[in-house]
A and B are shown apart, each in its own frame.
Chain A
């Protein structure tokens, strides 16, 4: 729409809205005395102003997941794509699934019951902790594969891993020597690796996924 056209329609709009507003403005003072339900219903519902300081928390009754922090608020839920809705039951119906989970951006192709040795020691976890793995790029079974672009919606699957412990490599000794000198220095390193076991891998059915 061109600007000139829009302008030309403006005065008409203005007068129209003013004409519509006037009766309601006149009705408002009357509604207190006459108390006709019709006029009362036709006006906008009166909403008590709620101060932002003590607004009730709408999610106070819900369980707060550990991953949800104020600094990283969860995005509003997006609808699950139709292709996923239609084809996910075929994948879910088959037994034995594999999944490619991404931990710190690195992919690990695992099945339920598999043990992973991460190439690093995960800080802040102890043996016995249960981790929820929520980033995956591929889920598959014998006949079907679901690929994410680049990641699969985390509502579709449920993958948990248990921390088994920390493993360490044998001590590595690297001899450092400068030229034309007999002095040798040893650089030692012994890396530690966290061991996880994939304790659970479920593909959710759609009712569960939609409920969340």
Chain B
């Protein structure tokens, strides 16, 4: 099953209520928001209504919110190779 990956690229400010309704129905409430919807005629029609505002890709798998964030986060670029010995200073303090 494939999905549409839809990203709102242009803001809906100043657009007719009907267009905003379509964007809301797609789940695109702010610019840059990405949503995934299954490929079906209903969603294709909705995308067609707002085709000037969104960027659409067809993907094989829908990403979860966490996966989407992970794909945008750069790699930390380091890891602790040799940690100094941690001394536990009392029960209340976490090292």
Chain A 154-199 residues near chain B, CB threshold 8 A: 160-161
Chain A 68-105 interface 0/1 with B at a Cβ cutoff of 8 Å (1 = within): 00000000000000000000000000000000011111
Q: CB distance B77 to A101 under 8 Å?
A: yes
**Secondary structure class of chain B's binding surface, majority of residues:** loop
CA gap between A202 and B63 in the complex, in Å: 39
Interface residue count on the A side (C-beta < 8 Å): 22
Chain A residues near B (Cβ < 8 Å): 65-67, 101-105, 124-135, 160-161
The A interface, classified by DSSP as helix, strand, loop or mixed, is: loop
Q: Select one of A65, A104, A132 contacting B74, CB under 8 A.
A: A104
B84 at the interface (CB under 8 A from A): yes
In the bound complex, how far is the Cα of B83 from the Cα of A131, in angstroms? 8
CB atoms of B84 and A103 under 8 A apart: no
Among the listed B75, B78, B84, B95, which residue makes an inter-chain contact with A161, where contact means beta carbons less than 8 Å apart?
B78
A residues less than 8 Å from B82 (CB atoms):
129-130
Bound CA–CA A82/B78 (angstroms) = 27
Contact A125 B80 (CB under 8 A): yes
In the bound complex, what is the Cα–Cα distance between A198 and B79 (angstroms)? 14
Residues of B within 8 A of A128 (CB): 84
Q: Categorize the interface residue count of chain B.
A: 10 to 19
Count how many pairs of residues, one from A and one from B, have CB atoms less than 8 Å apart in the complex. 56
Interface flag for B81 (CB, 8 Å): yes
Identity of the chain B residue whose Cβ is nearest the Cβ of A68 in the assembled complex: B79
Q: Are A133 and B83 in contact (CB under 8 A)?
A: no
Q: Is the CB of B74 within 8 A of A129?
A: no
Best-buried of B73, B78, B80, B81 by chain A (most CB within 10 Å) = B78
B78 to chain A, nearest CB (A): 5
Interface presence of B76 (CB below 8 A): yes
Inside 8 A of B74's CB, which chain A residues have their CB?
102, 104-105
B89 smallest CB distance to A (angstroms): 12
Most buried by B among A101, A134, A161: A134
Q: How far is the CB of A111 from chain B (nearest CB, A)?
A: 17
Task: Contact check, A133 vs B78: say whether CB atoms are below 8 A apart.
Answer: yes
How many angstroms between the C-alpha atoms of A34 and B86 in the bound complex? 68
Q: Using Cβ atoms and an 8 Å threshold, which residues of chain B touch A126?
A: 83-84, 86, 95
Given contacts A104-B74, A105-B74, contact A131 B84 (CB under 8 A): no
In the complex, A107 Cα to B76 Cα: how many Å? Answer: 11
Given A126-B83, A131-B79: 13 more A-B contacts, CB < 8 Å:
A66-B79, A66-B80, A103-B78, A104-B76, A104-B77, A105-B77, A124-B80, A126-B84, A126-B95, A132-B78, A132-B79, A132-B81, A161-B78
